[in-house]
Amino acid sequence: MAERGYAFRRRSRLTKSAEIAAVFAHRCSTGDRYFSCHGRPNGLGHARLGLAVSRKAARSAVARNRIKRQVREAFRHGREAVAGLDVVVVARPAAAAARGAELRGSLERLWTKLAEKCKDC
């Protein structure tokens, strides 16, 4: 069933630590200076997102929350590119200083690269 609009519903999230650990164990990943993206086929037909934004990546809670909002927004608009995958996005320290448009553009490129890499898994 396709999502209506751009809502970020619970079915689109990785909510359990075991689900996130399974994505990290799969070893299908790509990255750039802002993010590291890890993926794993989920067999559900829709994408799910998990986030890891540590204090190492952004010291203040305000900065970490801004990064998470940008990632969720990019995911809402680009989830078709990673349909059928569980995706975990890990922020890197450069993301804290980047503008929102740079982060979203980076994620759009990473969704495409990750989908290509994970289709062979």
- Asked whether residue 40 is domain-assigned, the answer is yes
- Asked whether residue 23 is domain-assigned, the answer is no
User: What pLDDT, on the 0 to 100 scale, is given for residue 1?
Assistant: 44
- Asked whether residue 4 is domain-assigned, the answer is no
The DSSP H or E segment spanning 67 is helix 61-78
Task: Residue 86: give its domain's CATH number.
Answer: 3.30.230.10
In terms of residue numbers, what domain contains 112? 29-118
Per-10-residue mean pLDDT, the chain, length 121: 62 87 89 93 89 94 95 90 91 94 93 87 67
Each as own residue / partner, the long-range contacts of residues 77-83 (CB below 8 Å, 24 or more positions apart, any chain) are 77/6, 77/104, 78/107, 78/108, 78/111, 79/3, 79/12, 79/46, 79/47, 81/108, 81/111, 81/112, 81/115, 82/39, 82/47, 82/111, 82/114, 82/115, 83/45, 83/46, 83/47
- Asked whether residue 22 is domain-assigned, the answer is no
When divided into structural domains, the chain yields a total of 1
pTM of this prediction exceeds 0.85: yes
